[in-house]
Structure 1
Amino acid sequence: MRSLLVLTLVLGPPAWADVLIPLRNIRAQEIVTREDFRQEPVDVPGTWPVEDSVDGLESRVALYAGRPVRHGDLGPPALVQRNDIVTLVYARDGLQISTEGRALSRGGIGDTVRVMNLSSRTTISGWVTEQGTIEVR
């Protein structure tokens, strides 16, 4: 008990921060806006800060009313869906190679997705670009 008191005196009280709390249950893959959340002071590490904009983001997991939103729970909307035919692009030092592939997972801008090259049937990973193509390095 003394150690807890000493830690509180040395470190100070817990840091309360405003976090986002869903007003309703939100399904995974649903686009959200700021009106879907309320802000509440809570001491939960790893939660989504209020300063960050959530308008137009997609819920990656089901969000339940009254539970704080964590960092990985929201992300950019998916441009690539599973089983979509996508363009794979490899560009380096003036050389650009493009081919078609089948997306094995879904992802938004900047997400890493696995794709099967339709020509060679090999599975590779790449990043989703703003145009919906997959950049391979």
Structure 2
Amino acid sequence: MRTLALALALCLPQAATAEILVPSRTIRAKAIIGPEDLVLKSVDMAGVYADPSEVVGQEARVALYPGRPIRYDDIGPPAIVDRNDLVTLYFDRGSLVISTEGRALGRGAAGDVIRVMNLSSRTTVSGQIRPDGSIEVK
């Protein structure tokens, strides 16, 4: 009987606890996360961060509250373009390169696609944010 109980215990799925990261204080959206903002907590949960090096320096996309786990969608790279920023628009096709000034209609980090208004023509276009903060129109 005892071997049957042991066999059942080994076959049934069991929850495994692990160390996850939780905020030590309330972190507002758009704030950059520092090492002093994080503490480790033992809990059984998937889809959350456990390594501080993956979180430090990232930007909170939503408000983070003490004791609650930080999920993958809650943080991301810091935005380099904010809404209403003046940016340079680039259109590059072979030997043709056009640049003009635009106004960002959204915010984002390098690699994000946002809408931008071309200030010369008042046309709204979409473009990808370059690492230098300019926008490449496709």
Band the TM-score falls in, shorter-chain normalisation: 0.7 to 0.9
**What SS does structure 2 have at the residue aligned with 1:72?**
helix
Paired AA for residue 62 in structure 1? A
Provide TM-score, normalisation by structure 1.
0.81
In 1, are the aligned partners of 2:35 and 2:52 still within 8 Å (CA)? Answer: no
Where does residue 109 of structure 1 map in the other structure? 110
Paired AA for residue 11 in structure 2? L
Deviations 1:30-88 (A, max 9, x none): 11112211122333332234265222221111100011111121112221111111111
Where does residue 83 of structure 1 map in the other structure? 84
Measured after TM superposition, the shift of residue 128 of structure 1 is 1.4
Unaligned runs of 5+ in 1: 1-5
Where does residue 72 of structure 1 map in the other structure? 73
State how many pairs are aligned.
130
**What SS does structure 1 have at the residue aligned with 2:54?**
coil
**Cα 1:9/1:122, change in 2 over 3 Å:** farther
**Cα 1:122/1:50, change in 2 over 3 Å:** same
Provide TM-score, normalisation by structure 2.
0.80
Where does residue 44 of structure 2 map in the other structure? 43
Question: Which structure's CA Rg is the greater one?
Answer: 2
Unaligned runs of 5+ in 2: 1-7
RMSD, aligned α-carbons: 2.1
